[in-house]
Structure 1
């Protein structure tokens, strides 16, 4: 089987989208479709089925995904072992600002433990922004927030959303609740604002920011309350108030650009994430 076609197939498994697969693999969508057609002909099985507008893997497609991962990992392992080691291994890592003080230090320690002569560049941005940069090949790997039912990337840990405030009661008693939350694409922004609207609770957005430190600063000065992951709150107290909407649980994962030979292999990422889960306490 063609290695490039298998990489495109795994990119679809990861993204669930031919358009995102085409972007990551630097091909046209028609070229990806042709690769998948040839792959189905070679395997002699139907790999996809359509449900509404979405494509899903058949049982044979799921089986092929398992084999394809092993084939690509073996290829990467062979190339790594046979090629001469380079003096510097450049790796571009993306991380949301809200995990920069909790997840990031532990992950960086593990990356340096597994990769010799590592030159690491870190970019901080929101999860949707990092996924866009990943698709365009601007970064190699990224820490992202994913839904609890998602299989994207490699799981690092699970966390829950919490309400935080410097004062346990003062702001909650105001007629119009002051909020400082992440930007609109954040699930905590959506859960907080939509939950309050369903309760017919008046609120005012003091600020929206992609920076957790900026939000914590507003909360510390008692200008607003906020909704974020428990890992992101640092020492700020949790508001346990039944009047506040319930916030969602999340999973934090590490994803890799599927179309690049980065300094870290899939095998190394699996090992790093496995060690992270044992070392890090959410």
Structure 2
């Protein structure tokens, strides 16, 4: 018989709580245990996996390479465990969920996914905050949000549960014609937007002149600017609207670099309602990734 290691969920929950909250004491407060008990559970988990999983550098806890791998599995195991538990506890699921969405992503698609869930669970209320990805993640760190979707620069970003790849597309009004040889007017979000950066990088690399003809923080204003022919822009399939067409290399526009997007939350802070919403979002993203859509899930757990 194989020697199977049983990674107990209470040990994994302690591990994830320590990493997400950044300290043994804070994890103990959330889990209702003393700091020595938390330390004992962490040592027990290290014994089970046969390797150190965290190291202390000054006052900061850092993951070892084995700890980074284990954290990916731990988040997924706990998510599924808590999804099953919340199913049998579904009569008690209620409350307010605070969600952060990025200005420069497919907000309409994500809002549709989230509101679809709340229509099925009328006892849950939403508070949605839209801002730049850095602002959204800062609010999550400050416990002002329960979960967030934001652009990812690092696959090992803090609180990251799942990531996927988005390839932006060039969009213009149906009757708009641009001559890259004479320069391209752009409709863009303000500086700091990942989509704006991708447009400029692609045009500069292709040695195509450009100018920003429209700047605005809201997706609706950007869409209207494109439809009215003020300029070309980088959008997602979900933010394309009637009256727009896709531009590609046959129009003289170079491909845009991919963008990684992530789903973030602090597992020990998330309610049953939040866990079920996370699973609903992941389910919809996986469905999108199974088709030929630009959004697709990575073929492995995010680490």
Judge same fold: TM > 0.5, yes or no: yes
Mapped contact 1:148–1:249 kept (Cα < 8 A): no
Match of 2:123 in 1: 117
Give the SS at the match of 2:167: strand
So what's the TM-score if we normalise by structure 1?
0.70
Write out per-residue CA displacement over residues 117-166 of structure 1, whole angstroms, 9 at most, x where no aligned residue.
111122222222211111111121223344696783335x6542111111
Match of 1:278 in 2: 287
Match of 2:271 in 1: 262
Which deviates more from structure 2 when the two are superposed, residues 265-274 or residues 129-138? 265-274
Q: 2:113 aligns with which of 106, 112, 122?
A: 106
Cα deviation, residue 109, structure 1: 0.6
Match of 1:229 in 2: 236
Cα 1:3–1:40 change in 2 (3 A) is closer
Match of 2:248 in 1: 240
Give the SS at the match of 1:237: strand
Write out per-residue CA displacement over residues 161-195 of structure 1, whole angstroms, 9 at most, x where no aligned residue.
11111156633357232111223333221121122
Within 5 Å, give how 1:113-262 maps onto structure 2. Answer: 113=120, 115=121, 117-146=123-152, 152-154=160-162, 158-166=165-173, 170-172=177-179, 175-235=182-242, 236-242=244-250, 243-262=252-271
Match of 1:31 in 2: none
- RMSD over aligned Cα, in angstroms? 4.2
Cα 1:166–1:258 change in 2 (3 A) is same
Match of 2:102 in 1: 96
So what's the TM-score if we normalise by structure 2?
0.66
Mapped contact 2:190–2:216 kept (Cα < 8 A): yes
Aligned residues: 260
Q: Give distance in 1, aligned partners of 2:225 and 2:90.
A: 51
Runs of 5+ in structure 2 lacking a partner? Answer: 1-9, 29-35, 57-61, 294-303
Cα 1:172–1:116 change in 2 (3 A) is same
Cα 1:137–1:67 change in 2 (3 A) is closer
Q: Give distance in 1, aligned partners of 2:284 and 2:95.
A: 21
Q: Give distance in 1, aligned partners of 2:254 and 2:182.
A: 16
Write out per-residue CA displacement over residues 261-280 of structure 1, whole angstroms, 9 at most, x where no aligned residue.
33524365225422553379
Give the SS at the match of 1:216: helix
Runs of 5+ in structure 1 lacking a partner? Answer: 13-20, 28-33
